[in-house]
Structure 1
Amino acid sequence: MALPGRIDLNDLLVFEAVAEAGGFTAAAQRLGVATPKVSVEISRLESKLGVALFSRTTRTVAMTDAGQALYEECRPLLQGLTEAIERAAFDTKELAGTLRISSTADHVALTLAPAMAAFAQRHPHLVVDLRTTDRVVDLVEEGFDIAIRLGWLQDSSLHAVKLGEFDQYVVASPGYLRRIKHPETPKDLEDLDWVALTLLPTPFTWKFSSSSGQTATIHVKSRFRVDSARALRSVLEQHVGVSILDQFNAQDGINAKRLIRLLPKWSLPSAGVYAVYPPGRQVPAKVRSFIDFYQQYLKDLRAGPTSTLTRKN
């Protein structure tokens, strides 16, 4: 059996992208190239190897047994090579390649997008691919370097770094509050018109604590439900009812007096902002650098408008 000719490393990287993205078009989007280019490079690799790596139909692309075996053998080698290149780039402070990040649309719009813009300006050779979704993405299968997740993390095989914390506020609009008796305790919230955020695991049960050591658990009912924090904020500003918003989404409305914070002597558990990334022998330089940058960005944001970003990486 004749040995294959010289294999182009780029062809292997394209092969890896198709294998992980599950299709030529998705791989092309991930790599930032045209779909026909992906098809050409896969065909060239298959021709040199003398085997089919993917079975193709008009609707699906699936790895063959030979493709699966090649992927399992090559992936750790390609990952190690990519990490070595990125470490060399990091030593000169010149990040390169593509940084693919996923987070919720709300968090991207409020904080992550401006942070990414500032980070990209500092690293002009780095390509930034920022995706928004409210579902929990599979970082390995979908080819993401980092996901920014909010709340409380479940156990996972992924690595996670806590970047910061945020508070949760009970809020309502001035227009709604003019129609009701203002609540004085958490239990009073159960009698009000509640707007539920169904994105949460327990949107109808809330546990409060006071500075004096008291605790209270409430169970609310709701006939108005939304599935995003941005929609919740908009609904509350239309004088529909009362609810709980995270600090990021609530603060602008409170500052502009479109929303009023209720029960300030009672607090809800703080939640975290986490950078989650796939397991590996070495964290890529672009990932390390962005995690450090965004951690400081959130710290400065929480400190207030007088704070300035001073990090250089």
Structure 2
Amino acid sequence: MNPNDLLLFAQAVEHGGFAHAARRLGVPKSTVSKRVAALEAALGARLIHRTSRSFVLTDVGRDVYEHARAALIEVEGAEAAVRRRQVEPSGTVRITASIPTVQMELAPRLPALAAAHPKLRLVVHATDRFVDIVQEGFDIAIRSHFGPLPDSGLVARRLRAEPFVLVAARDYLAARGTPVGPGDLENHSAILGALNQTSWRLRHVDGREGTVTPQPRMVADESTVILEAAAAGLGVAVLPEPFVRAAIAAGRLVRVLSDWTAGEVTTTILTPHRRGQLPAVRAVVEFLADG
């Protein structure tokens, strides 16, 4: 017996005939008739006495209908459960992101998401190591990257691209002088962001580009360390503009060569294909994208 035939039989009885059921389901009348006939053949019993003018259940048909109706109710219940979850996201969503992303972006915003969706449970994993979200069971990864991401089979949604800007402390610039062009950076101390980094590739708003080699004073591969070193007056640093925005507003740092940038960082949300279709995961992705 084909369970789908049982559901079609229940629909035919509910709507008082093949024609009405076919219109409700959006299928040809012949399809409903053939599937009910197949159900009768599979059960070895006639379920309906039907003529051109009548549609009457047999005794066996009434018994089968009670079970078919129960199955139809379960199907409708499953649909209703999905709709409820779409209206009100619920369940656990596991997110992984770098430590700076968690500190600067997720920490201020996720409480509002949790308050808006009381049935949503958020698990946030902050790490600067690479996380295989499929193997480790995460629903969402937020990645910051300088070039295109490798093809991973994950669903990618680009959030934004942000420039790297040059910053320094006022006291440092007062003591060493404010650069007026990229060449001046050759005589300035720098806080570099990688052990093998020796220079910065700069781009002007008019499209001009150039490479400068400052004097390394400190090297750190963590953004907060670089920011604090620059604020302490150790030299010029290159950092993402949103990351230094608060420090600039507070007067701890100032922009250097404001018409120049040192590349950009792209932020992308990654989700496994099937997990990304879940209402709770979609709700988190949309919330982050709207920000």
Query: Under a length normalisation based on structure 2, what TM-score does the superposition of the two structures give?
Result: 0.66
* Structure ID, larger Rg: 2
Equivalent pair of 2:165/2:260 in contact (CA under 8 Å): no
Task: Specify which of 200, 216, 220 is matched with residue 222 of structure 1.
Answer: 216
Match of 2:170 in 1: 174
- Aligned CA-pair RMSD: 2.3
Equivalent pair of 1:100/1:145 in contact (CA under 8 Å): yes
Deviations 1:116-141 (A, max 9, x none): 11111111111110111011111012
Pairing 1:121–2:115 present: yes
Q: What is the Cα deviation at residue 228 of structure 1?
A: 1.1
Query: Under a length normalisation based on structure 1, what TM-score does the superposition of the two structures give?
Result: 0.62
Take 1:284 and 1:85, find their aligned partners in 2: how far apart are those partners? 15
| Structure 1 residue ranges without an equivalent (≥5) | 1-83, 298-313
Deviations 1:5-53 (A, max 9, x none): xxxxxxxxxxxxxxxxxxxxxxxxxxxxxxxxxxxxxxxxxxxxxxxxx
Runs of 4+ in 1 over 3 A off after TM superposition: 84-90, 202-205, 279-282
Equivalent pair of 2:145/2:266 in contact (CA under 8 Å): yes
Match of 2:249 in 1: 255
Q: What is the Cα deviation at residue 146 of structure 1?
A: 0.6
Equivalent pair of 2:201/2:212 in contact (CA under 8 Å): yes
Could you say if the C-alpha distance between residues 265 and 281 of structure 1 is closer, same or farther in structure 2, counting changes exceeding 3 Å? closer
Q: What is the Cα deviation at residue 281 of structure 1?
A: 8.0
Matched residues, number: 211
Match of 1:270 in 2: 264
Take 1:265 and 1:282, find their aligned partners in 2: how far apart are those partners? 40
Pairing 1:198–2:186 present: no
Could you say if the C-alpha distance between residues 123 and 221 of structure 1 is closer, same or farther in structure 2, counting changes exceeding 3 Å? same
Equivalent pair of 2:201/2:209 in contact (CA under 8 Å): yes
SS of structure 1 residue aligned to 2:135: helix
Could you say if the C-alpha distance between residues 205 and 284 of structure 1 is closer, same or farther in structure 2, counting changes exceeding 3 Å? farther
Equivalent pair of 2:168/2:237 in contact (CA under 8 Å): yes
Equivalent pair of 2:240/2:264 in contact (CA under 8 Å): no
Could you say if the C-alpha distance between residues 282 and 115 of structure 1 is closer, same or farther in structure 2, counting changes exceeding 3 Å? closer
Take 2:81 and 2:158, find their aligned partners in 1: how far apart are those partners? 23
Query: Identity over aligned residues, as a percent?
Result: 29
Match of 1:140 in 2: 134
The letter of the residue matching 1:276 is L
Match of 2:21 in 1: none
Q: What is the Cα deviation at residue 269 of structure 1?
A: 3.0
Task: Specify which of 195, 206, 209 is matched with residue 212 of structure 1.
Answer: 206
Deviations 1:190-249 (A, max 9, x none): 3211111229xx743432222333211224452411121111111111111111011222
Equivalent pair of 1:86/1:96 in contact (CA under 8 Å): no
Pairing 1:240–2:234 present: yes
Q: What is the Cα deviation at residue 282 of structure 1?
A: 5.9
Q: What is the Cα deviation at residue 156 of structure 1?
A: 2.5
The letter of the residue matching 2:207 is G
Take 2:205 and 2:255, find their aligned partners in 1: how far apart are those partners? 17
Take 2:239 and 2:91, find their aligned partners in 1: how far apart are those partners? 37
Deviations 1:90-140 (A, max 9, x none): 43x211111110111111111112221111111111111011101111101
Take 2:125 and 2:81, find their aligned partners in 1: how far apart are those partners? 22
